[in-house]
Amino acid sequence: MGRAATQLCRLAFSLANQTDVVAAANLALDGLFEGTHVDAARCCWAREAVEELTAADLEIVAARADTQSKYHRISNFLASTVLREGEAVLARNVEDDSTLGTRDSKGRSNPPA
């Protein structure tokens, strides 16, 4: 627990010293990969401040992957949940799990009904 807290504090101080969004996003991804067992991650943001954000307003700022998997844009459901709750999501790939997700007419993953 002490090591994790130290890493988190170090990351917070480093993030506070960043002067642009892309550098901060890449630093956050580095911290995420160092502190967890993820294969891929993306940092998104909304370039413009709007009253009510939607998934369409999100733009990828930084990305990192330790695998050759092709990136699939997150579902509108997941993006809406993140925007509504104001918290990040750590999730596993449900692409091949029929009990957790299905595909829409465009081939994107959707949550179960």
Q: What is the 3-class SS of 55-68, one letter each residue?
A: HHHEEEEEEEECCC
Q: From start to end of 11-82, where are the E strands? A: 40-46, 58-65
Q: How confident is the model at residue 23 (pLDDT cuts 50, 70, 90)?
A: very high
Tell me the whole-structure pTM to 2 decimals. 0.64
**76: CB partners within 8 A, 6+ apart:** 54, 55
Confidence of residue 10 (pLDDT cuts 50, 70, 90): confident
Instruction: Indicate the domain borders of the chain.
Output: 2-110
Q: What is the pLDDT of residues 51-101, one digit of tens each?
A: 777 778 888 899 888 887 666 677 778 778 888 888 877 666 656 655 555
Strands (E), the chain: 40-46, 58-65, 102-103, 109-110
Greater confidence, 1 or 100?
Answer: 1
DSSP-based helix, strand, coil % in the chain, nearest 5: 40, 15, 45
User: In this model, does residue 113 exceed pLDDT 50?
Assistant: no
Q: How confident is the model at residue 26 (pLDDT cuts 50, 70, 90)?
A: very high
pLDDT confidence band for 41 (50 / 70 / 90): confident
- CA-atom Rg of the chain in angstroms: 16
